[in-house]
Amino acid sequence: MQRYASLLGGLGAVAVLFALLSFMIQLFAGGGLLLQQDLAFSVANLVLGLALLAVSLGTNLEQIRERMRTGEARRAGKYGTSAVAATLLSLAILGMLGFLSTRYHQRFDWSEQQVHSLSSQSLALLQGLEQDVEVTAFYPALDVAPVRGLLERYAYASPRFRVTYADPNERPDLLERAGISEQDLGEGLVHVALGAESVQLREVTEEKLTNALVKLTRGGEKTVYFLEGHNERAVEGEPGAAKDALGRAAEALRNENYRVEKLLLASRGEVPEDADVVIAAGPTRPLLEPERAALRRFVEGGGSLLVLLDPRAKTDLVDDVRGWGVDVGDDVIVDRALALFGQATSPFANSYDAHHEITRDMREPALFHMARSVRNADGGPFTELVFTGQASWAERDLERFFSEGAAELDATDLEGPVSVAVAGILPAASPPPAEAAPEGEAEPAEAAPGADGGARLAVFGDVDFASNELIEAYRNRDLFVNTVNWLMGDVEAISIRPALSRASRFQLTQEQFLQIRTLSIFVLPQLLAVLGVIVWWTRRSRPGR
């Protein structure tokens, strides 16, 4: 048995060392779930290690006494004391670093799409909070970890984002205070409250959490009307779910706390007074003259209009848009160098106006399909926002293009980069001179601010970029929603919204995560240490050593 004393001592030292490391990790982790999970591992290692050390010491006691009588003991004591002092100093340095890490934080995100960082929209919203947002995560202890990571990023970005984690079984008082029943709770939810208003989230993502903050912080509800009756793209119901419809675009606007309605001008006669923005999403049939007149009155009265026009769309809205100063080309943009999978009529737009509010933060490309050129007419008040590639052009021989599918750049075509969208503010209409009120009568009431002011107008030469099929591609959604934000006058809402990772995700349960963590941090390193002790003992036990 004495032969194996050094082996047992080495294995015992390894077990005690990993028990102490486990306790230290639990201490810095704050205990809780990790303490419960790792307690058996730590105690088992400590008991086993002390037992092995005791056996090794007992079987080798006589040899230790003999060494203590020689100079070898003094040398061992000297070097051992140095080793212990160095170890204690290292532990003190690590402890100090751990203490400093709890006081001073710095986060890093090295993922390609910055999916572990908050988007500029979320950060701007958090930095603009004027009062505390009280967030309560109602989840059992085993299920809270995935939600905790996202909520901590919000809390790190703003001290006004205050988070409480509550196990529903332990804090029924918080459930009652939030007005949540057990039936509503389900598998867990996040309760977000700002003042007397609150929102409950069952699916907790950055997009949904930021949208909840938008709804709570943005006062009032503004309305977007989509024209219908002229073969425009559908926005609701089963037709709105088709791949070429705009159901997802409408939902993106609702997420900005805008109310979305449909507008049949022929039945109303006038644009409703509560309309903040009207969208004509790809009409292909002419409007009735009373409808056109009502739309012109809306624009001339300071309303905001977004027009999406496909090539060869048979709509008289083209004439109205041209009358306002927008040069809408009778063409199709072709790009054989920078297009989706080589499809020349699905060009990427990778260049933006760097000064306009809509596009100043845009860096990544947007994708269009069957688009026409849209430019600022000479002397017009519009800014050209989005441009296709250098090798693109606007093909104007549409008869040959649609009949033969052929397109070649010639002198009649418009060379790239080609503008696909414009936005601008129309000059305010000059009001007629006011007549002086007769003596003794009150002066006429002044018009509401902006009632006769300049209208905001944006025109795109494509509808498909905002369709269900393409709106989530690249930065299409940001381009569409930012345009509506600008038309609303909500310039502070313009931003780049949460990105999605290009890599797929491997979902783990809490138990699976803890098992992998225990294997990687404790079991495998300890196994390697045990093998190292065995190799050391085998070599030391060879004859002649």
For residue 83, the model assigns a pLDDT of 66
Do 261 and 319 have their domain in common? Answer: yes
Burial of 169 (0-12, 13-18, 19+ CB in 10 A): exposed
Residue 527, φ and ψ in degrees, nearest 5? -60, -40
Tokens representing residue 195 in the block? 């003042």
**Cβ(315)–Cβ(286) below 8 Å:** yes
Tokens representing residue 346 in the block? 């699905």
- In terms of average pLDDT, the best of 38-52, 96-110, 452-466, 482-496 is 452-466
For residue 79, the model assigns a pLDDT of 59
Domain boundary among 174, 207, 240: 207
Q: What is the pLDDT of residues 17-63, one digit of tens each?
A: 888 877 777 666 544 444 455 677 778 888 888 888 788 777 766 66
Do 470 and 530 have their domain in common? Answer: no
Angle 247-255/206-217 helices, nearest 10 degrees? 60
Closest C-alpha to 61, from 2, 7, 16, 12: 2
Do 525 and 466 have their domain in common? Answer: no
pLDDT band at 468 (very low <50, low <70, confident <90, very high): very high
Do 227 and 286 have their domain in common? Answer: yes
Q: How far apart are CA 235 and CA 512, in angstroms?
A: 42
pLDDT exceeds cutoff 70 at 447:
no
**Cβ(226)–Cβ(281) below 8 Å:** yes
Range of the domain at 521: 2-69+507-540
Domain membership of residue 94 (yes or no) is no
pLDDT band at 436 (very low <50, low <70, confident <90, very high): very low
C-alpha separations of 506 from 216, 382, 503, 511, 512 in Å: 33, 47, 10, 14, 12
Q: What percent of the chain has pLDDT over 90?
A: 41
Q: What is the pLDDT of residues 280-331, one digit of tens each?
A: 999 999 999 999 999 999 999 999 999 999 999 989 999 999 999 999 999 9
Do 334 and 476 have their domain in common? Answer: yes
Do 419 and 351 have their domain in common? Answer: yes
Do 189 and 315 have their domain in common? Answer: no
User: Quick one: three-class SS letters along 360-389?
Assistant: CCCCCCEECCCCCCEEECCCCCEEEEEEEC
Closest C-alpha to 132, from 195, 178, 200: 195
For residue 80, the model assigns a pLDDT of 60
For residue 317, the model assigns a pLDDT of 94
Domain membership of residue 545 (yes or no) is no
pLDDT exceeds cutoff 80 at 485:
yes
pLDDT band at 444 (very low <50, low <70, confident <90, very high): very low
Domain boundary among 207, 237, 258: 207
**Cβ(494)–Cβ(482) below 8 Å:** yes
Mean of all residue pLDDT scores within the chain: 82
Do 326 and 413 have their domain in common? Answer: yes
Burial of 347 (0-12, 13-18, 19+ CB in 10 A): buried
Do 63 and 142 have their domain in common? Answer: no
Domain membership of residue 113 (yes or no) is no
pLDDT band at 477 (very low <50, low <70, confident <90, very high): very high
For residue 24, the model assigns a pLDDT of 74
Domain membership of residue 83 (yes or no) is no
Tokens representing residue 392 in the block? 């693109």
For residue 103, the model assigns a pLDDT of 62
Q: Is 181 helix (H, G, I), strand (E, B) or coil?
A: coil
Do 327 and 358 have their domain in common? Answer: yes
Q: What is the pLDDT of residues 193-230, one digit of tens each?
A: 988 888 888 888 888 888 888 878 876 678 999 999 99
Domain membership of residue 81 (yes or no) is no
Regarding predicted confidence, which is higher, 473 or 10?
A: 473
Q: How far apart are CA 299 and CA 280, in angstroms?
A: 13
Closest C-alpha to 401, from 366, 372, 368, 367: 372
Do 169 and 268 have their domain in common? Answer: no
Tokens representing residue 24 in the block? 């230290």
CA angle 528, 534, 536 (to 5 degrees): 100
Q: How far apart are CA 31 and CA 39, in angstroms?
A: 10
Tokens representing residue 169 in the block? 């079984």
Tell me how many domains the chain contains: 3
Q: What is the pLDDT of residues 25-38, one digit of tens each?
A: 766 654 444 445 56
For residue 133, the model assigns a pLDDT of 92
Do 161 and 31 have their domain in common? Answer: no
Domain membership of residue 95 (yes or no) is no
Q: How far apart are CA 279 and CA 304, in angstroms?
A: 9
Domain boundary among 165, 183, 207: 207
As a dihedral over the C-alpha atoms of residue 180, residue 183, residue 188, residue 192, rounded to 10 degrees, the angle is -30
Q: How far apart are CA 425 and CA 514, in angstroms?
A: 58
For residue 182, the model assigns a pLDDT of 74
Which stretch of 237-241, 285-289, 520-524 has the lowest confidence by average pLDDT?
520-524
For residue 33, the model assigns a pLDDT of 44
Q: How far apart are CA 457 and CA 334, in angstroms?
A: 26
For residue 434, the model assigns a pLDDT of 43
- CATH, residue 318: 3.40.50.880
Residues present in the chain in total:
545
Domain membership of residue 212 (yes or no) is no
Q: How much is the pTM?
A: 0.62
Tokens representing residue 322 in the block? 């041209």
Q: How far apart are CA 325 and CA 328, in angstroms?
A: 9
- CATH, residue 167: 3.40.30.10
Beta strands 414-415 and 419-425 are unpaired
Domain membership of residue 87 (yes or no) is no
Instruction: Establish whether the linkage from the previous residue to 365 is cis, with ω within 30° of 0.
Output: no
Burial of 303 (0-12, 13-18, 19+ CB in 10 A): buried
